Amino acid sequence: MPITAEHAGRSYPATQPYRVSREAIAEFAHAVGDTTAGPDQDPAIASPTFAMVLAARAWEALFGDPELDLALVRTVHADQRFDWRRPIREGDELTATLRIDKVRTRGLTDMVTIGVQIDAQGGETVVTASSTLLHTRTEQDPA
Amino acid sequence: MSTRALQPGDQFGPTTVTVTRETLIEYAAASGDHNPIHWSDRQARALGLDGVIAHGMWTMGRALSVVTDWLGDSSVVSGYFVRFTKPVPVPDDDRGTEVVFSGVVSAADDDLVTITVNATCGDDKVLGAAKVEVRR
């Protein structure tokens, strides 16, 4: 049974805690050309879009949900939003919790809006993320 | 450029960044995104692309680095939105692909400044409706 508008509101368990390391911060800063964030501060501050590393861990539950019949290879990432309450920093232990916010299907294309909340130890929300994914259904599952 | 001093109309760029296959490998390692469309021409073509393309999230992150370099501070970033409008093709050569970033302060109040960001690759606009919000 493929994804439908009725799946809006479904949420998945939080991912396992991910401990943010100085090394991961440095590697990511280098990869995105960020000269301001990184390991020179103490604690090291992550580049803002490092948040996607955490959000992507939550995406696994979505793509692994057998009810939805979603495939990453048939998915285009259409847009992305982040809101940071504070920078992610070295030593944070972060979990990511995904919720399906909206599903619209036209023909063979599902437009899926997902929200991910990234929380630190103690339940402090550090970042919220929202993505629109465009997914192509296989022809066996027309709307 | 301190966020306190920012006024509508203040601009940055154009800044040209070259992305090569090496950039994509580094980003794949750092981000955990090992999607083969970002390292295998064969697999990219099987999905209808002309070849390997950059991670959209690399383009989003790289654009933000241009902004935070301009500001001298990344801890002030409070919000960021982009639409991924066109892919950035990255051939397997030494020249790579040039992406040009620029932007302008489009709104400002006492607490928050909004910066509109442009990213182009040749004639293509690769990020759409891209806006960064920073705290004063």
Q: Which residues of A touch B26 (CB under 8 A)?
A: 27, 30-31
At A140, is the pLDDT very low, low, confident or very high (cuts 50, 70, 90)? low
* Residue B91: pLDDT band with limits 50, 70, 90: very high
In terms of C-beta density within 10 A (0-12 exposed, 13-18 middle, 19 or more buried), how is residue B49 classed?
middle
| Residues B14-30, mean pLDDT to the nearest whole number | 98
Three-state helix/strand/coil letters over chain B: CCHHHCCCCCEEEEEEEEECHHHHHHHHHHHCCCCHHHCCHHHHHHCCCCCCECCHHHHHHHHHHHHHHHHCCCCCEEEEEEEECCCCECCCCCCCEEEEEEEEEEEECCCEEEEEEEEEECCEEEEEEEEEEEEC
Kindly list the residues from chain B whose CB atom is less than 8 angstroms away from the CB atom of residue A52. Answer: 31, 57, 61
The model's confidence at residue B85, banded by pLDDT at 50, 70 and 90, is very high
Asked if A45 reaches chain B (Cβ–Cβ under 8 Å), the answer is: yes
For the sheet containing A18-19, what is the strand order? A18-19, A93-106, A109-120, A125-136, A75-84, B77-84, B124-135, B112-121, B97-108, B11-19
Chain B touched by A80 (CB under 8 Å): yes
pLDDT for position A38: 67
Share of chain A residues as helix, strand and coil, in percent rounded to the nearest 5: 20, 40, 40
- Across residues A16-33, what is the average pLDDT? 97
Residue contact B65–A47, C-beta within 8 A = yes
ipTM: 0.97
pLDDT of B29: 98
Q: Does B17 touch chain A (CB under 8 A)?
A: yes
Q: Is the pLDDT of residue A15 over 60?
A: yes
Of B35, B61, B73, the CB nearest to A49: B61
C-alpha torsion sign, points B58, A38, B101, B16: negative
CB within 8 Å: A30 and B62: no
Q: What is the mean pLDDT of residues B118-126?
A: 98
The full DSSP string for A114-139 is: EEEEEEETTS-EEEEEEEEEEEEPPT
A91-114 tens-digit pLDDT: 999 999 999 999 999 999 999 999
pLDDT digits (tens, 9 = 90+) for A35-71: 997 667 889 999 999 999 999 999 999 999 999 999 9
At residue A41, the pLDDT reads 80
The model's confidence at residue B59, banded by pLDDT at 50, 70 and 90, is: very high
Query: What percentage of chain B exceeds 90 in pLDDT?
Result: 97
The chain-wide mean pLDDT, for chain A, equals: 94
Query: Looking at A33-42, A90-99, B108-117, B120-129, which range is the least confident one?
Result: A33-42
Q: Would you state the pLDDT for residue A37?
A: 79
Looking at chain B from residue 49 to 68, which residues have their Cβ under 8 Å from any Cβ of chain A? 56-58, 60-62, 64-66, 68
Q: How far apart are CA A29 and CA A36, in angstroms?
A: 8
Out of A33, A49, A53, the one facing B17 most closely (by C-beta) is A33
- B1 band by pLDDT with thresholds 50, 70 and 90: confident
B33 reaches A (C-beta below 8 A): yes
Ranges of beta strands (E only) in chain A are 18-19, 75-84, 93-106, 109-120, 125-136
Helices then strands, counting H and E runs in chain A, come out as: 2, 5
Contact between chains at B57 and A80 (C-beta distance less than 8 A):
yes
In this prediction, what percent of chain A has a pLDDT beyond 90?
Answer: 90
Task: Evaluate if residue B44 carries a pLDDT over 70.
Answer: yes
For residue A40, what pLDDT is reported?
Answer: 75
CB contact under 8 A, B64 and A27: no
Residues of A with Cβ-Cβ distance to B83 under 8 angstroms: 78-79
